[in-house]
Amino acid sequence: MAGPLESPSAGVPDAGPSTSLTQLELLLDVGPPPSQPQDERFTPPSDFSAFDAEFRFSLDAAATPANALCPRYCTQEDSGLLRPWAGERVWCNPPWSQLPWWVDKAWRELQSQCPLSVLLLPDNRMHQRWWQTLVEPIRDRVLGGSLSLRSRFLPGRFHFGTPADPLAQRRKRPPCGVVLLIFAQVS
């Protein structure tokens, strides 16, 4: 990403936090760090199918050819962080080492022309500054009459696949639960 991230509320009056991530001293004025090997968590298709039935996704924004869940998808090489999501209904299980950038991207895309994006995130990050600035002040609210960010904490611990076990047959669990952040334009 070239240059500092914009404030998540840029261009939308009273739409949410007024502090950009860079002002949070998170050093996000450069692109995100490279994803880590432990970032390769595949959403099992059996779990994804329920989300897809509800939201009808058109783009998987953070995938590999081996784990893409939508016909159209972005890989690390053609980064979903850099490509526009206009007109897409986006599914994203982002690299956990890059969460602030993906949340900021979803918020900025919602304010432009992306009607829906759903991010699957670990639920143990709520104490972190980026969550407190980008998510908490606007979570579970409709903003400006047309934008919403809803949170849905999923019960239990989600089972993820890995490159060696893409269908999560070994039932590997993260050390935390997960939450869906649902960024949506409201009619």
Query: What pLDDT, on the 0 to 100 scale, is given for residue 44?
Result: 80
Query: What pLDDT, on the 0 to 100 scale, is given for residue 76?
Result: 87
How far are the Cα atoms of 63, 83, 98, 157, 165 from residue 89, in angstroms, in the given order?
A: 15, 14, 21, 25, 27
Does the residue 105 lie in any domain?
yes
Does the residue 21 lie in any domain?
no
Does the residue 121 lie in any domain?
no
**Consecutive 10-residue runs of the chain (187 residues): their mean pLDDT?**
31 40 47 62 86 97 92 92 96 92 94 93 87 93 92 86 71 75 92
Question: How many structural domains is the chain composed of?
Answer: 1
Q: Identify the domain containing residue 101 by its residue range.
A: 41-116+126-185
Query: What pLDDT, on the 0 to 100 scale, is given for residue 14?
Result: 39
Token code pair at residue 64:
């590999």
CB 61 within 8 A of CB 92: yes
Q: How many other C-beta atoms can be found within 10 angstroms of the C-beta atom of residue 88?
A: 22
Q: What is the pTM of this model?
A: 0.79
Does the residue 154 lie in any domain?
yes
C-alpha atoms less than 13 angstroms from C-alpha of 161 in its C-beta half-sphere:
21
Does the residue 16 lie in any domain?
no
Does the residue 107 lie in any domain?
yes
Please, what sign has the CA dihedral across residues 111, 105, 42, 174?
negative
Query: What pLDDT, on the 0 to 100 scale, is given for residue 47?
Result: 86
CB 151 within 8 A of CB 158: no
